[in-house]
């Protein structure tokens, strides 16, 4: 009898845990589904293939629109990015989460942001586009996922040993608002006087969803990601470090939604060759995403999360976004970015330099933390 009672109690507890899990994580699941739907809709309405969203590619296009690089095929001021930053800002104001905070090794964050971009453009996509590519059937993105997980695991080893870029401190509203305001004003200027900016006439930069659709999609995703704390890197990191599977469920929700969406509209195309804006050099896809994953763990979040934190006033993330923009410009000015034909020699050298730099930062700031404690 006692055994039966205990068994019943255990089953009830299991049920409660399950119920609590859904109660705690429904928003992240909704966010994943909405991002997936938005990605499929944007892809079907003009954005490049398997690129409904890509924070790296869109920052790269924006760097091109601003003339920071002159690669004519990737220049466009992507409304999605402006929408995501504005959405995060709007969502953060009401719960009083918009506040100035920063000063945690900003220059190192700039450098890490640049190398996140170099890794992303070796693979051709940020972590978000990686999962969108998986949902589209691109097998190279599965190779990328393995590299991404390995990179995150390496970063987690340093986190466990005490890696930190140091404390951030309170900052004024001006510092908090500077990049979101400048970015949004530049976007408005681009709408008002487009002749000031560069626009691709061919290539991925010329493939665009209608501005209003892209902007609304960005806003919705920005609001949801700010509320749900969506992060592609955080998902895998938290699952490994704390057995917390909330964020990684959002990650999986994007894959499933994009997969189902592509099946419905007939755009699911499984395979390794002939994939849109992708190459099938497995080793360099792996190394590119590994670099991106490792550097992102040190930064505390993926490129999408950096945009969201920028929107809510974190100047450390704003500096990271600036690092990514400049990194993207370097990628095209020095021929580091891959294309559908594969990686470049310069790109391979840059990724190797990236591993060395990230390793040095990891070692230096782990020792420092160990000494301080």
Partner 1 sequence: MKEVDARGFSCPMPVIMVQKEVKAGAPDELDVLVDEKCAVENVTRFAESQGYTVTWEEKDDEYAVHLRK
**Sites of contact with partner 1 (CB under 8 A):** 24, 95, 97, 99, 101, 104, 159-160, 164, 166-170, 229, 234, 237-238, 241-244, 246, 300, 314, 316
C-beta of 104 vs 289, nearer to partner 1: 104
- CA dist 168 → 106, 272, 302 (Å): 10, 43, 19
- Which token pair is 349? 């050298």
C-beta of 129 vs 305, nearer to partner 1: 305
- Whole-number Å distance between alpha carbons of 337 and 87: 29
Shortest Å distance, C-beta 257 to partner 1 = 24
Shortest Å distance, C-beta 135 to partner 1 = 27
Shortest Å distance, C-beta 159 to partner 1 = 6
C-beta of 229 vs 335, nearer to partner 1: 229
Specify the DSSP element, H or E, that contains 119. helix 106-123
Shortest Å distance, C-beta 14 to partner 1 = 15
C-beta of 104 vs 339, nearer to partner 1: 104
C-beta of 162 vs 282, nearer to partner 1: 162
C-beta of 16 vs 346, nearer to partner 1: 16
Shortest Å distance, C-beta 246 to partner 1 = 7
C-beta of 10 vs 170, nearer to partner 1: 170
Residues whose CB falls within 8 Å of the CB of residue 143, separated by 6 or more in sequence, listed in order? 282, 285, 286
Shortest Å distance, C-beta 157 to partner 1 = 13
C-beta of 285 vs 362, nearer to partner 1: 362
- Whole-number Å distance between alpha carbons of 326 and 59: 9
C-beta of 24 vs 346, nearer to partner 1: 24
Helix (H, G, I), strand (E, B) or coil at 312: coil
Is the torsion defined by CA of 241, 149, 59, 187 positive or negative?
negative
Helix (H, G, I), strand (E, B) or coil at 42: helix
Which phi and psi (to 5°) does residue 51 adopt?
Answer: -135, 45
User: In sequence order, what DSSP letters do the residues of 139-195 get, joined into one string?
Assistant: HHHHHHHHHHHHHHHHHHHHHHHT------EE--HHHHHHHHHHHHHHHHHHHH-GG
Shortest Å distance, C-beta 156 to partner 1 = 9
Please enumerate, as own/partner, the contacts of 356-364 that have beta carbons within 8 Å and a separation of 24 or more.
Answer: 357/111, 357/115, 358/112, 358/115, 358/291, 358/294, 358/295, 358/298, 361/108, 361/111, 361/112, 361/298, 362/155, 362/158, 362/163, 362/294, 362/298
Shortest Å distance, C-beta 162 to partner 1 = 9
Shortest Å distance, C-beta 314 to partner 1 = 8
Strand partners, 169: 102
CA angle, 326 as apex, 321 and 327 as ends, to 5°?
Answer: 90
């Amino acid at each position: 009898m006692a055994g039966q009672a205990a068994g019943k109690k255990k089953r009830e507890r299991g049920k409660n845990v399950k119920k609590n899990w859904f109660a705690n994580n429904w928003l992240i699941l909704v966010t994943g589904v909405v991002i997936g739907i938005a990605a499929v809709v944007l892809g079907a309405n003009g954005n490049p293939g398997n690129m409904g969203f890509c924070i790296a590619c869109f920052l790269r296009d924006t760097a091109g629109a601003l003339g920071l690089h002159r690669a004519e095929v990737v220049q466009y001021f992507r409304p999605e990015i402006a929408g995501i930053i504005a959405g995060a800002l709007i969502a953060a104001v009401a719960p009083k989460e918009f506040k100035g905070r920063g000063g945690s090794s900003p220059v190192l964050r700039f450098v890490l942001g640049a190398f996140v971009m170099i890794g992303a453009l070796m693979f051709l996509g940020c972590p978000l586009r990686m999962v969108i590519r998986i949902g589209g059937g691109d097998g190279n993105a599965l190779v990328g996922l393995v590299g991404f997980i390995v990179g995150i695991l390496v970063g987690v080893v340093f986190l466990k040993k005490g890696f930190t870029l140091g404390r951030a401190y309170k900052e004024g509203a001006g510092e908090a608002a500077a990049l979101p305001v400048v970015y949004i004003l530049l976007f408005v200027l681009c709408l008002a006087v487009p002749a000031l900016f560069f626009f691709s006439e061919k290539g991925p930069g010329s493939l665009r969803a209608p501005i209003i659709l892209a902007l609304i999609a960005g806003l919705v995703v920005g609001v949801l990601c700010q509320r749900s704390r969506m992060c592609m890197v955080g998902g895998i990191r938290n699952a490994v470090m704390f057995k917390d599977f909330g964020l990684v469920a959002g990650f999986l929700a994007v894959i499933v939604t994009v997969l189902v969406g592509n099946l419905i509209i007939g755009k699911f195309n499984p395979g390794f060759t002939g994939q849109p804006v992708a190459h099938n050099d497995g080793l360099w896809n792996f190394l590119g995403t590994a670099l991106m994953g490792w550097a992102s763990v040190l930064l505390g979040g993926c490129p999408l999360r950096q945009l969201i934190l920028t929107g809510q006033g974190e100047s450390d993330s704003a500096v990271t976004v600036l690092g990514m923009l400049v990194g993207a410009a370097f990628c095209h000015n020095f021929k580091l970015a891959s294309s559908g034909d594969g990686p470049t020699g310069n790109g391979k050298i840059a990724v190797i330099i990236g591993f060395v730099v990230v390793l040095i930062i990891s070692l230096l700031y782990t020792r420092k933390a160990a000494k301080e404690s």
